[in-house]
A and B are shown apart, each in its own frame.
Chain A
Amino acid sequence: MEKIGVTWNRLTSSKLYWPLAALFFVLLFNFFFTKDFFAIEIKDGHFYGVTIDILNRATPLMLLAIGMTLVIATKGIDISVGSMIAISGAVSASLIGGKLEYVDGVKTLVTLVPMPVAIFAALLVTTLLGMWNGLLISRVGIQPIVATLILLVAGRGIAQLITQGQIITVYYKPFQFIGTGYILGLPFSLFIVGLVFGITLYAVRKTALGMFIESIGINPIASKFTGINVSKYIFSVYAFSGLCAGLAGLIICSNVSSADGNNAGLFIELDAILAVSLGGNSLDGGRFSLLGSLIGALVIQSITTTIYALGVPPEITLVVKSVVVIIICLLQSANFRKVVFSKWAQKRGIPDAKNAAKL
Chain B
Amino acid sequence: MSKWKKLTIGLSVGIMMFTLAGCGGAKQETATKPADKKIVLGFSQIGAESEWRTANTESIKASAQAAGIELKFSDAQQKQENQIKALRSFIQQKVDVIAFSPVVETGWDAVLQEAKAAKIPVILTDRSIKMSSGNAEDYYVTFMGSDFVEEGRRAGKWLVDTMKKDKDPVNIVELQGTVGSAPAIDRKTGFEEILKQNANYKIIKSQTGDFTRAKGKEVMESFLKSAKADGQKIDVLYAHNDDMAIGAIQAIEEAGLKPGKDIIIVSIDAVKGAFEAMIAGKLNATIECSPLLGDQLMAATKDLVAGKKIEKRIVTKEGVFPAEVAAKELPNRKY
B217 adjacent to A255 (CB under 8 Å):
yes
Query: Which applies to chain A's interface (DSSP): helix, strand, loop or mixed?
Result: mixed
B179 adjacent to A314 (CB under 8 Å):
yes
- B212 located at the interface, meaning its Cβ lies under 8 Å from any Cβ of chain A in the complex: yes
B221 adjacent to A53 (CB under 8 Å):
yes
- A141 located at the interface, meaning its Cβ lies under 8 Å from any Cβ of chain B in the complex: no
Instruction: Identify B225's interface contact among A49, A100, A156, A266, CB under 8 A.
Output: A49
B residues 255-274 with Cβ under 8 Å of A? 255-256, 273
- B322 located at the interface, meaning its Cβ lies under 8 Å from any Cβ of chain A in the complex: no
Residues on the B chain within 8 Å of A39, using CB: 229
A258 adjacent to B229 (CB under 8 Å):
no
- B218 located at the interface, meaning its Cβ lies under 8 Å from any Cβ of chain A in the complex: yes
Residues on the A chain within 8 Å of B57, using CB: 165
Which of chain B's residues has its CB closest to A304's CB? B218
Q: Which 5 pairs show the lowest CB-CB distances between chains A and B?
A: A36-B229, A308-B222, A314-B208, A35-B229, A256-B213
A262 adjacent to B49 (CB under 8 Å):
yes
Instruction: Identify B250's interface contact among A160, A256, A260, CB under 8 A.
Output: A256
| CB contact under 8 A between A305 and B255, given known A180-B250, A252-B214, A260-B213 | no
Closest-CB distance, A241 to chain B (whole angstroms): 22
B214 adjacent to A165 (CB under 8 Å):
no
A260 adjacent to B212 (CB under 8 Å):
yes
Closest-CB distance, B112 to chain A (whole angstroms): 25
B residues 177-232 with Cβ under 8 Å of A? 179-180, 205-208, 210, 212-214, 217-219, 221-223, 225-226, 228-230
B255 adjacent to A43 (CB under 8 Å):
yes
| Complex Cα spacing A309 to B207, Å | 10
- B247 located at the interface, meaning its Cβ lies under 8 Å from any Cβ of chain A in the complex: yes
Instruction: Identify B276's interface contact among A100, A180, A255, CB under 8 A.
Output: A100
Residues on the A chain within 8 Å of B284, using CB: none
B250 adjacent to A311 (CB under 8 Å):
no
Instruction: Identify B243's interface contact among A156, A167, A305, A308, CB under 8 A.
Output: A167
| Complex Cα spacing A39 to B50, Å | 35
| Complex Cα spacing A315 to B205, Å | 14
| CB contact under 8 A between A169 and B273, given known A48-B255, A256-B247 | yes
- A104 located at the interface, meaning its Cβ lies under 8 Å from any Cβ of chain B in the complex: no
A53 adjacent to B225 (CB under 8 Å):
yes
| CB contact under 8 A between A262 and B176, given known A165-B48, A311-B207 | no
B212 adjacent to A263 (CB under 8 Å):
yes
Residues on the B chain within 8 Å of A36, using CB: 225-226, 228-229
18 A-B residue pairings within 8 Å (CB atoms): A34-B226, A36-B225, A39-B229, A48-B255, A53-B221, A100-B276, A166-B51, A167-B50, A167-B54, A167-B243, A256-B250, A308-B218, A308-B222, A311-B207, A311-B226, A314-B176, A314-B208, A315-B180
| Complex Cα spacing A255 to B78, Å | 23
Q: What residues of chain A have their CB less than 8 Å away from a CB belonging to chain B?
A: 34-37, 39, 43-44, 48-50, 53, 57, 100, 156, 160, 165-167, 169, 180, 252, 255-258, 260-264, 266, 305, 308-309, 311, 314-315, 317
B276 adjacent to A167 (CB under 8 Å):
no
B residues 28-80 with Cβ under 8 Å of A? 47-51, 54, 57, 77-78
Which of chain A's residues has its CB closest to B52's CB? A167
Residues on the B chain within 8 Å of A57, using CB: 218
| Complex Cα spacing A202 to B280, Å | 47
B229 adjacent to A156 (CB under 8 Å):
no
| CB contact under 8 A between A314 and B228, given known A57-B218, A166-B54, A309-B222 | no
Residues on the A chain within 8 Å of B256, using CB: 43-44, 48
- B254 located at the interface, meaning its Cβ lies under 8 Å from any Cβ of chain A in the complex: yes
| Complex Cα spacing A44 to B253, Å | 11
Residues on the A chain within 8 Å of B255, using CB: 43, 48
Residues on the A chain within 8 Å of B205, using CB: 311
Most buried by B among A34, A49, A255, A264: A255
| Complex Cα spacing A256 to B223, Å | 17
Residues on the B chain within 8 Å of A166, using CB: 48, 51, 54
| CB contact under 8 A between A261 and B208, given known A36-B229, A165-B57 | no
B78 adjacent to A262 (CB under 8 Å):
yes
| Complex Cα spacing A315 to B219, Å | 15
| Complex Cα spacing A308 to B221, Å | 10
Closest-CB distance, B118 to chain A (whole angstroms): 29
Closest-CB distance, A260 to chain B (whole angstroms): 7
Which of chain B's residues has its CB closest to A43's CB? B256
| Complex Cα spacing A53 to B218, Å | 9
| Complex Cα spacing A100 to B229, Å | 38
Instruction: Identify A305's interface contact among B212, B222, B254, CB under 8 A.
Output: B222
Residues on the A chain within 8 Å of B180, using CB: 315
A156 adjacent to B247 (CB under 8 Å):
no
Instruction: Identify B48's interface contact among A35, A49, A261, CB under 8 A.
Output: A261
Closest-CB distance, A159 to chain B (whole angstroms): 10
| Complex Cα spacing A221 to B243, Å | 52
| CB contact under 8 A between A315 and B179, given known A165-B54, A167-B243 | yes
| CB contact under 8 A between A309 and B225, given known A255-B217, A262-B77, A262-B78 | yes
Closest-CB distance, B185 to chain A (whole angstroms): 11
Residues on the A chain within 8 Å of B49, using CB: 260, 262-263
B222 adjacent to A53 (CB under 8 Å):
yes
Residues on the A chain within 8 Å of B50, using CB: 167
| Complex Cα spacing A320 to B230, Å | 23
B230 adjacent to A35 (CB under 8 Å):
yes
Which of chain B's residues has its CB closest to A306's CB? B222
Which of chain B's residues has its CB closest to A48's CB? B255
| Complex Cα spacing A44 to B256, Å | 7
Most buried by A among B210, B212, B217, B223: B212
B226 adjacent to A180 (CB under 8 Å):
no
Closest-CB distance, B187 to chain A (whole angstroms): 14
Closest-CB distance, A266 to chain B (whole angstroms): 8
Residues on the A chain within 8 Å of B208, using CB: 314, 317
Which of chain A's residues has its CB closest to B225's CB? A50
| Complex Cα spacing A317 to B207, Å | 10
